[in-house]
Amino acid sequence: MIVPTIKGNRAVVPGLVNAHSHAFQRVIRGRTEHRTAASTDSFWTWREAMYRAANRLSPEDVYHVSRMAFMEMLLAGITTVGEFHYLHHAPDGTPYDDSNLIAKQVIRAAQDVGIRIVLLQTAYERAGWQKPINPLQARFIFQSVDAFLKSTDALLKDTEVPIGIALHSVRALRLESLLGITDHARSRKLPIHMHVAEQPAEIEECLAEHGGRPSELLREYGILGSDFTAVHAIHLTGQEIGYLGAARSTVCACPTTERNLGDGPVPADRLLETGTRICLGTDSNAQIDVFEDARCLEYHLRMNQLSRAILPVDELFRGTTESGSNALGLTQDSGDYFIIDLNDPLLAGLDDADLITQLVFSAERSAIRDVFVRGKQVIADGRHPDQDQIVTTFRKVQKRVWD
């Protein structure tokens, strides 16, 4: 693990890794924080609002929204993002002439702002077991698994950035599809990511269809492995936690989104005890601050257990850096780092002895001055060179989407 160091009144910190992002969801920040006509607002009511927003975005809009999200990540010291990409087609489900048009817009946005990206091409084929077609999901669904795999292989050939495979969830894919896509990914040595056990309703549906819980199903059919990352992994039994550890899988916790959506806390302490690795993601991008996600992973446990200092701070820091790189099939790059101003009021008095602890529990992005990716400076004195233009264009997209 590359560790931070102090040089004078500056701390040099390895670049943070955001292992799970849906960049287009940046467009709904602050737009769903109210009661609706539903008897109870939940992940599922939020999801419908997210779908409606997603269907208002053109491919060029996705570029501008992604660019905004990725610039914010750089400002927060994030030098690598794993983009869990499932916005594939036109709003009515018609494929573009280039089936990877929107994926390439997302990649272009990352390259233009200077962040390292792993594009996690996401398979999605149905609304759920025995559920009718949801027209709001038409943009996500390929006509067949073969069409998805063909498109993914084309993306591997057409772009220089790393590509991974994402299985959206057990509710969005039939077992036959899960197995076929997993085999395809492993034949190409691609990392595999999947939403797992984010909501109790997902587990109930999996039990009804398959007679087992999601992690049980994934273990039974050999989908778990050291190349597999379970995103969220909240509602787990002790046995399922053991399965993830035995397979040396990774869990990507997204505490900001998980508290925003009322998902529940990730049982990170029990997962780490079994050898499961933990990394972090910003998911819906309701807030972009990986250090905040790391401390909230710990704080959620403190609230539930009425205790303190539950997770080893070295593991929390590893979750912001090395574990995320591993989950994306990368190794840490010494050319990815950022500079923190130790004279910032948030961090005054920080020293070598407690550097990692104070960064994890005290640092915020306002203290970040400069950011480097592959040795190239992309943030200088707390600003991106294209910041004004990126923000102005994003505001125009927001006005068009929401007016």
Q: HSE of 14 in the Cβ direction (CA atoms, 13 Å)?
A: 20
Measuring CA to CA, how many Å separate 340 from each of 9, 311, 369, 381? 9, 24, 6, 10
Active-site hit among 85, 195, 232, 300: 232
Active-site hit among 61, 263, 283, 293: 283
Cβ–Cβ < 8 Å for 297, 253 = yes
Radius of gyration from C-alpha coordinates of the chain: 20
Q: Under DSSP, is residue 191 helix (H, G, I), strand (E, B) or coil?
A: coil
Question: In whole angstroms, what is the distance from residue 27 CA to residue 34 CA?
Answer: 16
CA angle 172/58/104 to nearest 5° reads 75
Q: 65 CB contacts (<8 Å, ≥6 apart)?
A: 23, 24, 26, 27, 57, 394, 397
403 an active-site residue? no
232 an active-site residue? yes
Structure tokens at 301: 């446990």
Structure tokens at 338: 């950022």
- Residue whose structure tokens are 């597999």: 228
Q: Which residues are annotated as catalytic?
A: 232, 283
